[in-house]
Structure formats: C-alpha cells, structure tokens
Amino acid sequence: MPSYSIGQAAGLLGVSSETVRRWADGGQLRMERDGTGNRVIDGVSLAGFAKDRAVGLHPVPGEVSTSVRNSFAGIVTGVVLDDVVAQVEVQSGPHRLVSLVTREAVEELGIEVGVTVTARVKSTNVHVDRP
C-alpha cells in the first residue's frame, strides 16, 4: 500500500503542509510514523479523507437536473473569443480547465474573466495516468 509524506498529501489535497499537520493533530486525518520516524499517511486513508472532504464542494443547484457527476466550481481566468467559438479557462482550486464553447453561449451566459462558474465534464474518454 502506498504512503504519502505530509508535503505529498498537501499537494494532492490542494492545501498547505501546515493544514495537513493540523488535520492530523486534530484527529481528522490518520497519520503514522514510518521506519525512519517520519510522519506518513497511508494511501487508503488519504483517498477516503479526500473523498469525504469533497462532499458538497461542487453541489448541483436545486433548479438544475443533470446526469453529469464531474463538476468543478471555479472562477473564469481567461476568455478568448473568435467569430463562432470561444475558449474559456476556469481555475477550480488547483485544477485548470479549458473549454471550447460557442461564442453565443459565452455571450448569453455573461461569461467573462472574474465570473464564477461550474464546469461540468461528461466524457466517454477519461484517461488515468500513473507516475
């Protein structure tokens, strides 16, 4: 089973190392010592903590019915308009998403830099890489 250092866990959770230490010291995140005495978090515990922490972070508004389960609330950081197409860049925590949509949609929705949006992703092709 993989284990992660405090810094690695912080990077995966999108928080500071100090925040991970506080969660561990407060009993919210289980941490152990490895053979050299360093504090580590086992991968299963970290995955469960990340999943629990994400509950409710990207809720679907009550007036919206959707089958899309992958949603990222964020802020628009860039919009490039063409005659027909627009490129919209969204920063959602540590995640940068880029979407190509119609110019008409951008104008109708009032999408511009600084506006909060929710990017929803539904795809039959999702690639998972492992370092």
Helix (H) or strand (E) holding 50: helix 43-54
Q: Which CATH number fits domain 70-121: 3.40.640.10, 2.40.50.100, 3.40.190.100, 2.130.10.10?
A: 2.40.50.100
pLDDT at 57: 63
Residues of the chain with CATH 1.10.1660.10: 3-54
Domain with CATH 2.40.50.100 in the chain: 70-121
**So what's the pLDDT on residue 71?**
79
**How many secondary structure helices (H) and strands (E) does the chain include?**
4, 7
Each of the 131 residues of the chain gets a pLDDT tens digit; together they read 688 899 988 888 888 999 999 999 999 999 999 889 999 998 888 888 887 887 666 555 566 667 777 778 888 989 999 999 999 999 887 788 999 999 999 999 999 998 888 888 887 777 667 76
C-alpha span between 90 and 71 (Å, rounded): 12
d(CA 8, CA 17): 8
Predicted pLDDT of residue 56:
63
What was the pLDDT predicted at 64?
65
Query: For residue 47, what pLDDT is reported?
Result: 83
CA distance 51 to 35: 28
Topology given in CATH for the domain delimited by 3-54: Multidrug-efflux Transporter Regulator; Chain: A; Domain 2 (1.10.1660)
**Residue 94 to residues 12, 77, 85, 104: CA-CA distances in angstroms?**
9, 13, 26, 28
